[in-house]
Chain A
Amino acid sequence: MTEGLVAVAMSGGVDSSTVAALLASRGVPVIGLTMQLWDQRRMPELTPAKPSGRCCSLTDVHDARAVAQALGIRHYVVNFEERFEHQVVQPFVQEYLEGKTPIPCTFCNIYLKFDLLLELSAGLGADRIATGHYARLSHDADSGRWQLRRGVDTGKDQTYFLFGLTQEQMERTLFPLGEYTKEQVREIARLANVPVAAKSDSQEICFVPGGDHEEFIRAYLKEQGRALPPGGGEIVDSTGKRLGRHNSYYGFTVGQRKGLGVAAPEPLYVIGTNPETRQVIVGTERELFRKEMSVGEVNWLSIPEPDHPVRASVRIRHQHTPAAANVLAVKGERRAQVVFDEPQKAIAPGQAAVFYDGELVLGGGWIE
């Protein structure tokens, strides 16, 4: 078996293609693995006229293969569709029905990339996997721990989606792009003649073409022989006073302002939904701010679980500027209590909370 073999998770996009090019140019023995996660031929009613920017489309698999051919590396497509449906799509649907705002990319990282793919790679004799995430890993000699840092390109930093990494996973993972900006990555791709150097970034959730979550969930449930439960109900304020009606509570996100159709003296925002009563609760901008939250399924990465409150910058959604807070780990429960210095706007259950010390990722979990 080849010493030091690295398996590159190749999606067919610029980032992971550049990872393969970088490692190959450094003389690292690499193979490319493309995860087939979702059959785009399912639910054809969702397929938009222009099928681009979606994972697992045949085009992306072909792109990954073309890149591997250009680089002269072995490439394989591995089928993880069953696991993906069980661990990513179904929880996504379930949380959505519960009125939450799920992050399927994080599920995919936890259950597919850094679990199944890592294990498969080990089984194939690859010591480590490499992905195109913008994040940095390093080993701290003093504590003996692997640590995760934000990518150099703060605009592209993807550590928010990686809070679930364990020490064992970090030890066996490479994030070669963490040291580069997106512009540099495109330049490297161009210089290395990577065929997809000019391909646009994918933005939406890979299995939801067009980005319409409700349309996807309706089609998925129909395929499963289920119907989307009726979602229509009342719009109420925080005192329970009826302000109007909505057609469906699904898809309302905490902090959302548009699409309420309620006239009020000051702008109203969604501050929560109640799946049982199907009520959407709205309030003023002031009511949207909260100072505290509790976080579940917490994973501490770069430091061991602290036994005292730690000062941290806490990010509550991908595009959120981390805010100063005290984080107190709840011993033995994998939970944490977060108290912000300043109240934060639109804390949404189902989103992740990630704790930073500067660029170091301390830990993270799910907002409850």
Chain B
Amino acid sequence: MVVGIQALGATNRCYFDHNATTPVSAEVLGAYLSALRSPAGNPSSIHAWGQTARRILDEARARVADLVGCLPEEIVFLSGGTEADNLALSGVVGAHSAERRHVVTSTVEHPGVLKTCAHLETQGVEVTYLPVDGMGLVDPDELRRNIRPHTVLVSIMHANNETGVIQPVEEFARIARQAGVPFHSDGVQAAGKIPVDVTASEFDLYSLSGHKFYAPKGIGALFVRRDLGVQPLLFGGRQERGMRAGTENVAGAVALGEAARWAKVNMAAEAARLETLRDRLEQGILERVQGSFVNGKGARRLPNTTNIRIAGVEGEAVVIALDLKGFAVSTGAACSSGAMQPSHVLTAMGLKRAEGRSAVRISLGRSNTVEQVDALIEAVAASAARLQGLAPSDIDEDDD
């Protein structure tokens, strides 16, 4: 019996899940392929091949540094956002030998930060998780109050992956600096989408990930301020100033460099374009779908992200219904299937369990057009109307 792939009804696929990952752009692919094809050697080698590889790698490093406003030597290439977060937290904490070590972070961080903190807690490190308000923002005064004499790191994300809410990280960095504590920000969702200047803002560490802005998966970077001591996660060679052992992913770094270059040049125009589309999308859905609300509304948000809850509907069902119509969106984080705990981000913002479960994240990117946005509004309106009233009404919505 031969079974073909079932096309179902939808033939046009519109991708609206850019916060999960982005497709590799044409210019990045070109740079990536030429780096893979080049006869470059190992950047650590003495010979001409090695020197070529070193030059390519350092050019890429300069481009990434240019995107975030630091010196090239302050960029550590690694595998992606999760590794960057792990290295920032474990690396700084590990560089301190004091008996009491304390870290301040927030309740809305990405698991790359939260799970690393949970691990550090098992190692005897104290961690304070700062709450957020209804818009998802950390209160700077809360941060000020929670820095202790033995605090070794403050880590608060730049922009939230689920809601796009942008934290006042410049202010947090200032507070941390005044207290003499290094400041890390997870910039995985912000880098390449909104301006950041880690030097002017006096950040000490900043995480970014290539596949969130059109580079391939498997390459990312951590900005580490020049004079900051960080213990490596991996032991081996002296690559990346001793902070990331292992022969460098040269082609990946080149791809990341090209993505950074494109983002830097086109950021203002692309952000304005996406914000217009995002606002049109939000307005269309709010007008067409009964009981729809924007989570994080009122706060500064990434120009490409909206997180909408639709009363009486499971976000999961909306995602499936839209997929069957040819649109890719998500319920929040691109979590593993079935692990449907309500989002910790929305829960931290004070949403009830059922409200949290009714959220859909739509994140735009370079391929999206006004026609696609209008088609998505139609599809969301139709799906929501069909699904509304299907939420398990017999379950108490107010429990925990």
The answer for the CA separation of A268 and B1 in the assembled complex, in Å, is 56
A3 / chain B contacts, CB cutoff of 8 Å: 9
**By the criterion CB–CB under 8 Å, are B390 and A36 in contact?**
no
Per-residue CB contact flags for chain B residues 371-400 toward chain A (1 = under 8 Å, else 0) read 000000000000100110010101100000
**By the criterion CB–CB under 8 Å, are A78 and B8 in contact?**
no
**By the criterion CB–CB under 8 Å, are B8 and A79 in contact?**
no
A1 at the interface (CB under 8 A from B): yes
The answer for the CA separation of A231 and B320 in the assembled complex, in Å, is 47
Q: Which of B79-112 contact A (CB under 8 A)?
A: none
A193 / chain B contacts, CB cutoff of 8 Å: 1
The answer for the CA separation of A76 and B318 in the assembled complex, in Å, is 12
**By the criterion CB–CB under 8 Å, are B321 and A72 in contact?**
no
B60 → chain A, closest Cβ, in Å?
A: 36
**By the criterion CB–CB under 8 Å, are B392 and A74 in contact?**
no
B39 at the interface (CB under 8 A from A): no
Q: Known contacts A25-B1, A29-B6; decide if A74 and B386 are in contact (CB<8 Å).
A: no
A1 / chain B contacts, CB cutoff of 8 Å: 9, 324-325
Per-residue CB contact flags for chain B residues 209-234 toward chain A (1 = under 8 Å, else 0) read 00000000000000000000000000
Among B6, B9, B386, the most chain A Cβ lie within 10 Å of the Cβ of B6
A83 / chain B contacts, CB cutoff of 8 Å: 392, 395
The answer for the CA separation of A239 and B41 in the assembled complex, in Å, is 93
Per-residue CB contact flags for chain A residues 4-43 toward chain B (1 = under 8 Å, else 0) read 0100000000000000010011000111001010000000
The answer for the CA separation of A123 and B320 in the assembled complex, in Å, is 10
The answer for the CA separation of A271 and B340 in the assembled complex, in Å, is 44
A61 / chain B contacts, CB cutoff of 8 Å: 337-338
**By the criterion CB–CB under 8 Å, are B321 and A124 in contact?**
yes
**By the criterion CB–CB under 8 Å, are B320 and A78 in contact?**
yes
**By the criterion CB–CB under 8 Å, are A124 and B317 in contact?**
yes
Among A2, A21, A123, the most chain B Cβ lie within 10 Å of the Cβ of A123
Q: Known contacts A120-B317, A124-B324; decide if A72 and B5 are in contact (CB<8 Å).
A: yes
A72 → chain B, closest Cβ, in Å?
A: 4
B4 at the interface (CB under 8 A from A): yes
The answer for the CA separation of A217 and B324 in the assembled complex, in Å, is 40
**Interface residues on chain B, number (Cβ under 8 Å):** 26
B317 / chain A contacts, CB cutoff of 8 Å: 78, 120, 123-124
B316 at the interface (CB under 8 A from A): yes
A124 / chain B contacts, CB cutoff of 8 Å: 317, 320-321, 324, 386-387
Per-residue CB contact flags for chain A residues 63-100 toward chain B (1 = under 8 Å, else 0) read 00100001111101111011100110000000000000
Q: Known contacts A124-B317, A124-B320, A124-B324; decide if A119 and B3 are in contact (CB<8 Å).
A: no
B295 → chain A, closest Cβ, in Å?
A: 20
**By the criterion CB–CB under 8 Å, are B3 and A72 in contact?**
yes
The answer for the CA separation of A2 and B8 in the assembled complex, in Å, is 6
A155 → chain B, closest Cβ, in Å?
A: 26
**Interface residues on chain A, number (Cβ under 8 Å):** 39
B66 at the interface (CB under 8 A from A): no
Per-residue CB contact flags for chain B residues 158-198 toward chain A (1 = under 8 Å, else 0) read 00000000000000000000000000000000000000000
Q: Which of A321-363 contact B (CB under 8 A)?
A: none
**By the criterion CB–CB under 8 Å, are B386 and A71 in contact?**
no
**By the criterion CB–CB under 8 Å, are B3 and A123 in contact?**
no
A296 at the interface (CB under 8 A from B): no
Per-residue CB contact flags for chain A residues 33-55 toward chain B (1 = under 8 Å, else 0) read 01010000000000000000000
A191 / chain B contacts, CB cutoff of 8 Å: 1
A125 at the interface (CB under 8 A from B): yes
A116 at the interface (CB under 8 A from B): yes
A71 / chain B contacts, CB cutoff of 8 Å: 3
B240 at the interface (CB under 8 A from A): no
B323 at the interface (CB under 8 A from A): yes
A208 at the interface (CB under 8 A from B): no
Q: Which of B1-21 contact A (CB under 8 A)?
A: 1, 3-6, 8-9
The answer for the CA separation of A86 and B395 in the assembled complex, in Å, is 8
A192 at the interface (CB under 8 A from B): yes
B320 / chain A contacts, CB cutoff of 8 Å: 76, 78, 124
B387 / chain A contacts, CB cutoff of 8 Å: 120, 123-124
The answer for the CA separation of A77 and B319 in the assembled complex, in Å, is 11
A47 → chain B, closest Cβ, in Å?
A: 17
**By the criterion CB–CB under 8 Å, are A82 and B337 in contact?**
no
Contact of A74 among B1, B4, B323, B337 (CB under 8 A): B323
A56 / chain B contacts, CB cutoff of 8 Å: 338
B192 → chain A, closest Cβ, in Å?
A: 31
Contact of B321 among A86, A125, A192 (CB under 8 A): A125
**By the criterion CB–CB under 8 Å, are A74 and B3 in contact?**
no
**By the criterion CB–CB under 8 Å, are A120 and B390 in contact?**
yes
Among B3, B5, B324, B395, the most chain A Cβ lie within 10 Å of the Cβ of B3
Q: Known contacts A77-B338, A78-B316; decide if A72 and B6 are in contact (CB<8 Å).
A: yes
A73 / chain B contacts, CB cutoff of 8 Å: 6
B325 / chain A contacts, CB cutoff of 8 Å: 1
Among A21, A76, A83, A87, the most chain B Cβ lie within 10 Å of the Cβ of A76
**By the criterion CB–CB under 8 Å, are A72 and B4 in contact?**
yes
The answer for the CA separation of A263 and B383 in the assembled complex, in Å, is 66
**By the criterion CB–CB under 8 Å, are B386 and A192 in contact?**
no
**By the criterion CB–CB under 8 Å, are B386 and A116 in contact?**
no
The answer for the CA separation of A29 and B8 in the assembled complex, in Å, is 6
B228 → chain A, closest Cβ, in Å?
A: 38
B249 → chain A, closest Cβ, in Å?
A: 29
**By the criterion CB–CB under 8 Å, are B392 and A116 in contact?**
yes
Contact of A24 among B6, B316, B321 (CB under 8 A): B6
The answer for the CA separation of A123 and B386 in the assembled complex, in Å, is 5
Q: Known contacts A86-B394, A192-B1; decide if A30 and B6 are in contact (CB<8 Å).
A: yes
What are 17 A-B pairs with beta-carbon distances under 8 A?
A1-B9, A1-B324, A30-B6, A36-B337, A36-B338, A61-B338, A65-B337, A70-B3, A71-B3, A72-B3, A72-B4, A72-B6, A74-B323, A74-B324, A86-B394, A122-B386, A125-B386
Mark A residues whose CB is within 8 Å of B: 1-3, 5, 21, 24-25, 29-31, 34, 36, 56, 61, 65, 70-74, 76-79, 81-83, 86-87, 116, 119-120, 122-125, 191-193
Q: Closest 10 A-B residue pairs measured CB to CB?
A: A79-B340, A36-B338, A72-B5, A123-B387, A2-B9, A77-B337, A77-B338, A192-B1, A2-B8, A76-B320
Beyond the given pairs A21-B3, A72-B3, 14 more chain A to chain B contacts, judged by CB atoms under 8 angstroms and listed by A's residue number, are A2-B9, A5-B324, A30-B6, A36-B340, A72-B6, A74-B323, A76-B323, A79-B338, A83-B392, A86-B394, A120-B387, A123-B321, A123-B387, A123-B390
